[in-house]
Amino acid sequence: DGGITQSPKYLFRKEGQNVTLSCEQNLNHDAMYWYRQDPGQGLRLIYYSQIVNDFQKGDIAEGYSVSREKKESFPLTVTSAQKNPTAFYLCASTGTVNAEAFFGQGTRLTVV
C-alpha cells in the first residue's frame, strides 16, 4: 500500500537534547512538508521541500532542521534551540501542482 509513514508515534525529549522525527513516503511524490500543530490550533509550516537536495523554511523554522537526500525521505530534527517543542508533528507530501496533501499519522513529541 502506498502512503506516508511517520515514526515514532510518540517521542519524549529531555531538555537540551536533539531528536529526529522520521517521514518516509512511497507515493513517488516530489514535494514533502513538515507541519506543527499545538492543541486547538491549526497547522503551521516548519519546512518544505519540492525536490531532492533542496528545501525551504516555512513560517516557524527556527529551532528545526531538515534534509532531503532521497525523494522518499524527509526527516525533521528538533534541536535544543527549539524552546517549546511539545506538539503534534505532521508530515505530508503532494504529487502534481494542484494535488492534495497526504498526511502521515503524526508524531507526538513531549519534553520531559
Partner 1 sequence: QKEVEQNSGPLSVPEGAIASLNCTYSDRGSQSFFWYRQYSGKSPELIMFIYSNGDKEDGRFTAQLNKASQYVSLLIRDSQPSDSATYLCAVRMADGLTFGKGTHLIIQP
The whole-angstrom separation of Cα 3 and Cα 24 is 8
Q: What is the CA radius of gyration of the chain?
A: 13
Number of residues that bind partner 1 (CB under 8 A): 24
The whole-angstrom separation of Cα 43 and Cα 41 is 7
Tell me if 84 contacts partner 1 by CB under 8 A. no
CA 79 to chain centre: 13
Binding residues for partner 1 restricted to 1-30, rule: CB under 8 A = none
Tell me if 66 contacts partner 1 by CB under 8 A. no
Q: What is the binding site for partner 1 (CB under 8 A)?
A: 31, 33, 35, 40-43, 45, 48, 56, 58, 88, 90, 92, 94, 97-98, 100-106
